[in-house]
Chain A
Amino acid sequence: MKVTRRALSLGGAGLAATASGVARPAIAQSEPIRVGWLAALTGPSSAPAIGFDRGVRHAVDAINAAGGVRGRKIELLVRDTQGDPTKAVNAAQEMISRARVHAIWGPTNSGESLATTPIMARAKMPDIHPCFVDSLIDPAKYPNAFRLAPSNSQIDDAVSDYGVQVMKLKRFAVIGDTTGYGTTTVASSSAAFAKRGADVVYKATVDATQPDVTPDMLRMRNAGAEAVAVWSVSPGLISRLMNTRADMGWDVPFIGHPTMGAGEVGRLIAKPENWRKTYILGFKNCSYGPDGKLPAHVQEFVDRTRGKIELNDTILWWVLCGVDAIDLIARAVQEAGSTDATAIIRYWNTVNNYPGLYASYSWSPDNHNGLPQTDLVMSEANTQRLGAYKLAPGYA
């Protein structure tokens, strides 16, 4: 048999192709699982991401220490987006094109997510995030995007349910700050109260830097409000509302945004009692029951990680949500048997009542909002301890 140079070249190329074809899955099965983490770790809206980050790192370390997922370690690629949508877009593109991550967790604020979600959808990149804006989840437009936290509609429903059905009140004032968030939420929250047959007797936005809110509070009282729904992330405005309520001697409850329970508000109020009768959106798994304990599995986690995860200066649900995000990615790789994007998304679409720390999640091909309405509760704003709050009256 005559061995020609052409035959040798073709044979060599064939062998090389066969070898690479065989070797590729072997390499893929041993390479790390690359998880992108789009985190606003610095800048004015960094507090949540710092909390999420503690949970994320704990979960990654725990999984890797236990041998990884199917023998593969998790490699975390963190990019600080600084709360800036432009930086988030750049980071997402870099993760997709250069770092070639297998899944992305984040961004963790809606402004960034509105910018990155279409990009990740085009790249079919599996993404889970905790952002509230309703339009960020749409299984038809963004089949790759899954939500761990409540949507704004769910929050509106939870707060108005508490006011109307638990507190048995009928007349509400709804106010927010003049940001885009405040303005839109005043409208949606008012609609949620009206849907439950309550009267929205006062509806307004207030500039967060307004030095004195006495006139606004007088208008609410004169309108006959029995409770005030507050939608603002400004501790300055919130503390002014609380101080004015006390100065007026008006015993009206405040219900609404979790920022009303933030430590900054506690520092700005004139007296500790001004913080009473304030009920914020909370989560069943992150609330102390009448026995002063969290649900058993969350209490066990908090006890186990005491001294390892700092909880005194953050919010518990941020940390737990970070842990769940990594666990859900790891579980997807475990169940799907690969880091293929389609396989991860296919698994997430079948998740039903997944027992996370922060909540029990369920997703389906038609519903990518994972948090059940029943996990949303109201908490007493002035009871924060280790990042968690006491359940508001009416749940015991």
Chain B
Amino acid sequence: MFVAIMMSGLAIGAVYAMIGVTYNVMFSASRVMSFTAGQLGMLGGVLGAAFIDVLGMPAILGFVLTLAACALAGVLTEIVAVRPVLKSLEQHLYVLSTLALALMIQQFVAIQWSTEPQPFPRLLDFGGGGPGDEKFWLPILACLVTVVGLEVLYRHTLVGRAFLAIAEDNFAARALGLPERNLRMASYALAGVIGGLAGFASGQLLLAFFANGALLNFYGFVPVALGGLGNNRGAIISGLVLGVFQQAANFTFGGVFASVAVFAVFIVVLLAAPQGLFGAPAQRRV
């Protein structure tokens, strides 16, 4: 019983964590909280099912095409919903523009795909449905790959360091000759890949369902708030803890009371540490 709840909690938590990282990657490059993060996760599941189940492609090809399409959706977000409002960040117009794009993506999928959840294919046929089933392992594995991949990218590659530079101070980065706009677009593409990977890896858990976007937007935001805005390590740890806590609350309290428990803890944590558990208080020059 303990193993079943832990595996289920870690798997769901891994998805929340990756959507949290998706939020962060987009935020770091643009200072914009893009509410298309959850929709990128939804697209990962729907496109994976469409390529593999409907079009009959091999799983590996379907996987690659799904990530490519999600990267494209990330770039589209940057061009359509972020770039036009960057000059007036303080007016928070991006809330409207990214939410509008998110709704458009969701409605488009509902019309073209289905309003009912559709099956997502078995990928490795491993685990036989128990706690060791691939539907639990794949999201955890995807989360691990994301963590390692981002660590390597940010710490050991020039492009990664350039990402960090514009995240730290984009004016200084531009002054140094870094192509800020191209790097921002690349960041959004990377966010698309991470969101798509989250959706693809959790397809067997969440099914290919147009409404998953709203769910992921919501629960993916919690690790960002708990972990501290822009803090990927915080988002990963908070996401995993959130998933386990949510499933434990489901088991302890049952039904809708589990959500009440989750958000009660969320509010208490934010009251105690408004900058998030892993975030530093914002410093201001005086």
Spell out A's residues near B (CB within 8 Å).
44, 175, 178, 202, 204-207, 209-212, 214-216, 218-219, 235-236, 239, 243, 246-248, 264, 267-268, 270
User: How far is B66's CA from A317's CA once the two chains are assembled, in angstroms?
Assistant: 41
User: How far is B118's CA from A205's CA once the two chains are assembled, in angstroms?
Assistant: 23
**Are A270's CB and B118's CB within 8 A?**
no
Chain A: minimal CB distance from B49 (Å): 11
Chain B: minimal CB distance from A274 (Å): 9
User: How far is B185's CA from A49's CA once the two chains are assembled, in angstroms?
Assistant: 47
With A207-B259, A211-B12, A247-B130 as known contacts, state yes or no: A219 contacts B251, CB within 8 Å: yes
Instruction: Give the residues in chain B near A212, CB-CB below 8 Å.
Output: 8, 11-12, 205, 247
Partner of A204, one of B1, B206, B247, B254: B254
**Are A235's CB and B251's CB within 8 A?**
no
With A267-B119, A268-B117 as known contacts, state yes or no: A209 contacts B215, CB within 8 Å: yes
| Chain A residue at minimal CB-CB distance from B249 | A215
| Chain A residue at minimal CB-CB distance from B205 | A211
Instruction: Give the residues in chain B near A268, CB-CB below 8 Å.
Output: 117-119, 207
Chain A: minimal CB distance from B152 (Å): 29
- What is the total number of residues of chain B having a CB less than 8 Å from a CB of chain A? 33
Given contacts A204-B256, A212-B205, A236-B117, 15 further A-B contacts (CB under 8 A): A207-B256, A211-B205, A212-B12, A214-B5, A216-B251, A216-B255, A218-B4, A218-B5, A235-B117, A236-B116, A239-B117, A239-B207, A248-B4, A264-B116, A267-B119
Spell out B's residues near A (CB within 8 Å).
1, 4-5, 8, 11-12, 15, 115-119, 122, 129-130, 133, 202, 205-207, 209, 211-212, 215, 247-248, 250-251, 254-256, 258-259
**Are A267's CB and B247's CB within 8 A?**
no
Give the one of A206, A212, A267, A270 with max B CB within 10 A. Answer: A212
**Are A218's CB and B251's CB within 8 A?**
yes
**Are B129's CB and A215's CB within 8 A?**
no
User: How far is B206's CA from A267's CA once the two chains are assembled, in angstroms?
Assistant: 15
User: How far is B247's CA from A215's CA once the two chains are assembled, in angstroms?
Assistant: 6
User: How far is B202's CA from A104's CA once the two chains are assembled, in angstroms?
Assistant: 47
Partner of A215, one of B119, B250, B256: B250
| Chain A residue at minimal CB-CB distance from B247 | A215
Q: Which 4 A-B pairs have the closest CB atoms?
A: A204-B255, A215-B251, A215-B250, A236-B117
User: How far is B118's CA from A140's CA once the two chains are assembled, in angstroms?
Assistant: 45
| Chain A residue at minimal CB-CB distance from B117 | A236
Chain A: minimal CB distance from B33 (Å): 22
**Are A205's CB and B215's CB within 8 A?**
no
**Are B129's CB and A270's CB within 8 A?**
yes
| Chain A residue at minimal CB-CB distance from B12 | A211
Instruction: Give the residues in chain B near A175, CB-CB below 8 Å.
Output: 255
User: How far is B215's CA from A135's CA once the two chains are assembled, in angstroms?
Assistant: 34
With A204-B254, A243-B129 as known contacts, state yes or no: A214 contacts B117, CB within 8 Å: no
Chain A: minimal CB distance from B112 (Å): 15
